[in-house]
Amino acid sequence: MANICTLFTAIFLISALLFHVSSLASVVSTGDFNKDFFVIWAAPGHVNTSADGRSTSLTLDTVSSSAMSTKDKYLFGQFVMKMKLVPGDSAGTVSAFYLISDPYASRDEMDFEFLGNVAGEPYSLQTNVFTNGYGQREQRIKLWFDPTQDFHTYSILWNIYHIVFFVDDVPIRTYRNHADQGVAYPMEQPTSAQICIWDGSSWAPVKIDWSKAPFIASFKDYTIDACVWKGDPSDECRADGPSNWWNQDRFSTLTPQQIEQYQWVMKDQITYDYCTDNQRFNGSIPLECSLPKY
């Protein structure tokens, strides 16, 4: 599902290039939004970052949506963000944490998208994976907690073997590298990590009630341990040496405990899976759906 936040990425690509980093190595982020991120799009007063840079909030109202991006771009690594979602009646809003490459038309993208709800109903978490500009790989789950009451941890492990989405260390989705069997996998394009809040009324079943605005999503305590891209072809980010711990063989699949957790999510928490939507694909389910998940 394309969204306004990723469109902002295309529009402001030139701005992102101003922050290009010339090194290529594993890095643990500073955890400081003031140092690691810049504002892609927001009206004045819509991005509020603490003085120490450890936390920030993004606002959506009738004036503006809000989005931020890392200054660096990365190829493989672990990306972790703590989020507290919009409380109350948030129907029609979308809060997101995601990785995205450019150019937009042929992008690779890995999404956490939190679909706002009518007050009292559970939040829906949608994940998606784009490869070379093609998505249509949506999965949705119901969260087993209220994500508006406190911060929870959402993370993406992206390596040469698979992509794993985690919620509070519970794997909720995998997308394996089956490129040798003809399935597209993001291997070449470096991505930035981005956060945003935007108006999803154009497709949401319930439109935004603007009388409830402003809508505020909060973010803090992020960590990025990933290979920083310097802008030219290199195999260094694909190596499995000590600095690229995520590419080591022990991270090539889920552990037995993680498999058990993943199976629980697939059994009890999932509400939509493109792999079971025969009508959408006219009975021709995408190839990766029939291949191993871990």
Helix, strand, coil distribution of the chain in percent, nearest 5 = 20, 35, 45
- Report d(CA 38, CA 222) in Å as an integer: 15
Cis preceding linkage at 186, omega within 30: no
Give me the catalytic one of 113, 188, 236, 260. Answer: 113
- 223, 78 Cβ separation under 8 angstroms: yes
Residue 109: active-site member: yes
What DSSP designation does 8 have?
Answer: H
- Report d(CA 271, CA 173) in Å as an integer: 13
CA distances from residue 225 to 77, 78, 102, 109, 200 in whole angstroms, order as listed:
6, 5, 21, 18, 31
Residue 113: active-site member: yes
Give me the catalytic one of 109, 138, 188, 288. Answer: 109
Residues that are catalytic: 109, 113
